[in-house]
Amino acid sequence: MCRNIRPLFNFEPPATHEEIHAAALQFVRKVSGTTRPSKRNEAAFDRAVEAIAASVHELLHSMEVTHHHHARNREEEAAKARARSAARFARPTAAS
């Protein structure tokens, strides 16, 4: 589950509310051990997601980038992730 949480800091354009909310949702799902809470726990689950999203939003907007770190490009980062995944899940070749 947490593999779906991606770094959100130092991107151009900055992380959107939807990206922050998705990361918060994944975190709450992981720590609660459920992807969908019961009706009884739904309000607490939703409050936790919103509280974490608000904290992440505040964190991302208060962090500063050092001068030598350029903003990351989403497409480049996605390509790197695909390459890592391909290498990780590559089928071994049969030895002759």
Between CA 28 and CA 34 the distance in angstroms is 8
- Please indicate, yes or no, if residue 81 is contained in any of the structural domains: yes
Between CA 70 and CA 25 the distance in angstroms is 28
Give the pLDDT score at 55: 97
Name the residue among 24, 1, 6 with its Cα closest to residue 80.
Answer: 6
Overall number of domains in the chain: 1
- Please indicate, yes or no, if residue 13 is contained in any of the structural domains: yes
- Please indicate, yes or no, if residue 66 is contained in any of the structural domains: yes
> Which position has the higher pLDDT, 91 or 2?
91
Question: What is the per-residue pLDDT across 38-89, written as a single tens digit (0 to 9) for each?
Answer: 999 999 999 999 999 999 999 998 988 776 667 777 777 777 778 887 888 8
Q: Kindly report the pTM of this predicted structure.
A: 0.70
Give the pLDDT score at 80: 78
Q: Determine contact, residues 10/65, Cβ cutoff 8 Å.
A: yes
- Which residue range forms the structural domain that includes residue 45? 2-88
- Please indicate, yes or no, if residue 25 is contained in any of the structural domains: yes
- Please indicate, yes or no, if residue 94 is contained in any of the structural domains: no
Q: Determine contact, residues 20/53, Cβ cutoff 8 Å.
A: yes
> Which position has the higher pLDDT, 6 or 38?
38
Question: What is the per-residue pLDDT across 11-48, written as a single tens digit (0 to 9) for each?
Answer: 778 889 999 999 999 999 999 999 999 999 999 999 99
